[in-house]
Amino acid sequence: MRTSLSFLPLLYAAVLAGLVLLLWLAGEWRRSRLRRREWRAMGQCRLCAAWVRPVGGADLWRCPACRALNERGVPSDL
């Protein structure tokens, strides 16, 4: 297959743009995974609605803002 010399910079630019796109997509995927894992570790106080990261593995944790006791888990709308 014969190609002209002027085609090579175009090919190089296309390959480089594809590589940058793949790296960007991989970074965004990784960042979203880390953010989801971070939010999964957070808890919301049922009294003052503050988002905090409970310390330790206990089922009950105390909100640092209002000192209310909360249990670990997903907050409900009840």
User: Binning pLDDT at 50, 70 and 90, where does residue 59 land?
Assistant: confident
What phi, psi does 72 have (nearest 5°)?
Answer: -70, 140
User: What global pTM score does this model have?
Assistant: 0.58
Longest dimension (CA), the chain: 75
pLDDT score for 75: 54
Region 37-66: mean pLDDT is: 86
Angle of CA points 13, 19, 23, to nearest 5°: 145
pLDDT in tens, 24-48: 999 999 999 999 988 888 888 989 9
**38 vs 14, higher pLDDT:** 14
**48 vs 55, higher pLDDT:** 48
Cα separation of 5 and 40, whole Å?
Answer: 54
